[in-house]
Amino acid sequence: MNIDMVRAAAARLEGHARRTPLLSSPFLDEIAGRRVLVKAECLQHTGSFKYRGAYSALSALPVGVRARGVIAFSSGNHAQGVALAARQFGVSAVIVMPSDAPAIKIANTRAFGAEVVLYDRAREDRDAIGARIAEGRGLTLVKPFDEPQVIAGQGTVGLEIAADAAAVGVTTADLLVPCGGGGLTSGIALACAADAQGLRARPVEPESHDDARRSLAAGAIRRNENPAPSICDAIVTPAPGQITFPIMHHLCGSGLAVSDLDALRAMRLAFERLRIVAEPGGAVALAAALFQPAALAGDCVIAVVSGGNVDASVFCQALATA
């Protein structure tokens, strides 16, 4: 796992992934007490960065392997990324999703042409269901984060940030990244280590799921044990990955954690000041950038808004937040 893989992924994604803009607002700068740059990855195809990793992974498969189809486990954004990438390559995709995933994410995954298999989170074994289907049909599993070509794809977000931040004069900043299993964070960290050594990638999580923060502090993987529920469905993973954690441990600054309420407040400000739609899990880095000034260094902060797939009811709940 190295920067050459990230650059190779960028070459494969050229003409497929959208180069998302780096946005800003003087009103956000004022709240944060420093300059704020926002990488609006919610504007990516399928509404999240996950399309990059999925396309990267599928495009790296041998043609004959890819032709048999792919399978993925996901409550939402990875599902849509894999579904769209599979459709673009003309191969079949099976997505195993929890039955309580947001309705919009299930519907979209189906609309991209994937076969959705729902399971009951409380009573069924996701991995067993997936293994049975995959073996029977010769499908290749596309993991959501702990897979080098997926990390390489997510790392292209970091290459773009490095270039676009430098273009507006920013070469030193904390770079805050919404973190579930760490695919996006570790990919961005690899890109920054190569192209923008003054940008320090730092994972941001929900308070109830701060496994990456605790793992980085401990220097070893720590799991969330009996975590409280969080509105940030996209990033409530149990622990950093076996591949992503060593990269984060080597390259990232310390982690941060935000409350669900602050994630909702950040969604409201993204609506009002940037005119973008952020989902709760996609807004945690912006929340930390705006509301945790003492935890940050320097006169500029960069926050990734990693996704924007959110049901209207949750979005309006965010807009009603003070």
271 lines the binding site for a second copy (CB under 8 A): yes
C-beta of residue 145 within 8 angstroms of C-beta of residue 241: yes
249, 247, 253, 254: which is closest to 190 by C-alpha?
247
The CA-based angle 181-119-306, given to 5 degrees, is 30
Q: Shortest approach of a second copy to residue 29 CB, angstroms? A: 11
C-beta of residue 81 within 8 angstroms of C-beta of residue 48: yes
Q: Shortest approach of a second copy to residue 147 CB, angstroms? A: 26
Query: What tokens does 282 get?
Result: 């996609």
Binding mask 44-83 for a second copy (x = CB under 8 A): ---x------------------------------------
DSSP at 220:
S
Which among 74, 186, 215, 306 is annotated as catalytic?
A: 306
For residues 115 and 66, what is the distance between their CA atoms, to the nearest angstrom? 16
Clarify whether 75 is annotated catalytic. Answer: no
For residue 307, what are the β-bridge partners?
A: 48
Q: Shortest approach of a second copy to residue 270 CB, angstroms? A: 9
42 lines the binding site for a second copy (CB under 8 A): yes
**Residue whose CB is less far from a second copy, 72 or 84:** 84
Q: Shortest approach of a second copy to residue 65 CB, angstroms? A: 26
Backbone angles phi, psi at 294, to 5 degrees: -70, -20
Clarify whether 143 is annotated catalytic. Answer: no
27 lines the binding site for a second copy (CB under 8 A): yes
142 lines the binding site for a second copy (CB under 8 A): no
Among 66, 162, 268, 304, binds a second copy (CB under 8 A): 268
Dump the DSSP string for 49-108. THHHHHHHHHHHS-HHHHHT-EEEE-SSHHHHHHHHHHHHHT--EEEEEETTS-HHHHHH
Q: Shortest approach of a second copy to residue 61 CB, angstroms? A: 23
Query: What tokens does 286 get?
Result: 């912006």
Binding mask 88-127 for a second copy (x = CB under 8 A): ----------------x---x--xx---------------
Binding site for a second copy (CB under 8 A): 18-21, 23, 26-27, 40, 42-43, 47, 104, 108, 111-112, 268, 271-272, 274-278, 308-309, 312, 315-316, 319-320
Q: Which residues are annotated as catalytic?
A: 50, 306
